Amino acid sequence: MSSVISSHNPDAVSRAVGVLNAGGLVGLPTETVYGLAARADIDDAVTRIFHAKGRPMGHPLILHISEISELDRYAIEVPLPALTLAQQCWPGPLTLLLHKTEAVSSLVTGGRETVAIRIPANECARQIIKQCGNAVAAPSANIFGHVSPTSAQHVVSDLGDNVDLIIDDGNCSIGVESTIVDFTTDQPQLLRPGGFPVEDLESIIGQQILMPTGESRASGMLASHYAPRCRVVVAETIDIAKRALSDYGNARILDHWDNSPLYAASLYTQMRQADEDGMEAVIAVFPPKSGLGMAIRDRLIKASFL
Ligand code: TXA
Ligand code: MG
């Protein structure tokens, strides 16, 4: 069994740093979902991430840093609006896609010249990254294609022995992954809706962020992602959802559909619970598109692909 340590344990940070510096993998709590972290400058450790998740090499990872002053080390030609967002939204559920420096290995970026970077809002995670002395690469700590983990228990159940240490900081407060905005093209473009509402980002920079178009470059944008084993059926309204229930012998409507922050925070736990309870299907009511609703709708659609 992988070892789990509470974030409240005074040794938690130093143990995590020890594991990372030795080339190991740490289940890292963040405000969005738990990450599977390795030191980004240790190629063997980064390679282990792909093996542990069953993730195809070439799917790029997000670099997690602890302070905005570290940005220069990993990104160049940061446009002003990107810098504004970094200053105003970090630490927080926002990832910026930027041009990379030599310091970022092509293993992390899947051979691309761009790098995705964020500062997570979780205090313990930031301490770990800071004391590590280098950025950590961390995808969500789930088996590739499965529902992201929002508790330490979820990480244990997906990755077990393939992770050396898991820091248990309870349930993630936001519950869906970070919003990713590409600043390497002429106009900023959304790659993945997430925990930071895109309309809030637009109002901070006073500029429109283009919606994702064409072939996506983010793996979370692939069909059949974020999916439990049971069927996920989406419904526009609660009345339609109630009618859909009768199509299945053993199904339930996902709770908190009328409160987007709660819906987001509980979504992945509810999907995993439905599998544990042997449900045939879950029926999910679409939330309004505003705020966290956009990310929830996106994940529900991805999860509903057969
Ligand atoms: O909230 C989050 O972002 C969580 C926590 C752990 O920080 N991380 C996360 O990582 O969701 P992951 O690997 O599950 O999703 C990262 C997404 C992928 O869809 C990947 O393709 C995209 O970011 N990405 C990373 N680097 C990229 C790059 N250079 N170009 C295009 N997409 C990139
Ligand atoms: Mg993921």
Q: What is d(CA 152, CA 27) in angstroms, rounded to the nearest whole number?
A: 8
Residue 173, classed as helix, strand or coil, is coil
Number of domains in the chain: 2
| Same structural domain, 23 and 158 | yes
Residue 217 lies in a domain: no
Nearest ligand to the CA atom of 158? 2
**Residue 253: CATH number of its domain:** 3.40.50.11030
List, as ranges, residues with CB under 5 A of the ion ligand 2: 140
Determine the pLDDT at residue 291: 97
Asked if residue 279 and residue 134 are part of one domain, the reply reads no
Q: Are residues 236 and 276 in the same domain?
A: yes
The whole-angstrom separation of Cα 128 and Cα 151 is 18
Give the pLDDT confidence score for residue 218 in this predicted structure.
54
Contact between 29 and 124 (Cβ < 8 Å): yes
pLDDT means per 10 residues, the chain with 306 residues, are 91 98 98 98 98 94 98 98 98 98 98 98 98 98 96 97 97 98 97 98 98 63 76 97 94 98 98 97 97 97 89
Q: What is the pLDDT of residue 193?
A: 98
Same domain, 257 and 188: no
For residues 160 and 239, state if they share a domain: no
Q: Is 139 in the pocket of ligand 1 (CB under 6 A)?
A: yes
Ligand 2 centre from 299 Cα, in Å? Answer: 11
39 and 174 belong to one structural domain: yes
CATH code of the domain in which 121 resides:
3.90.870.10
100 and 27 in a common domain: yes
Give the CA-trace dihedral at 298, 299, 300, 304, to 10 degrees: 110
Collect all residues with Cβ–Cβ distance below 8 Å to 65 and sequence separation of at least 6: 71, 74, 117, 118, 119, 129, 135
In a domain? residue 216: no
Domain that holds residue 102: 3-205
Confirm whether 129 is domain-assigned.
yes
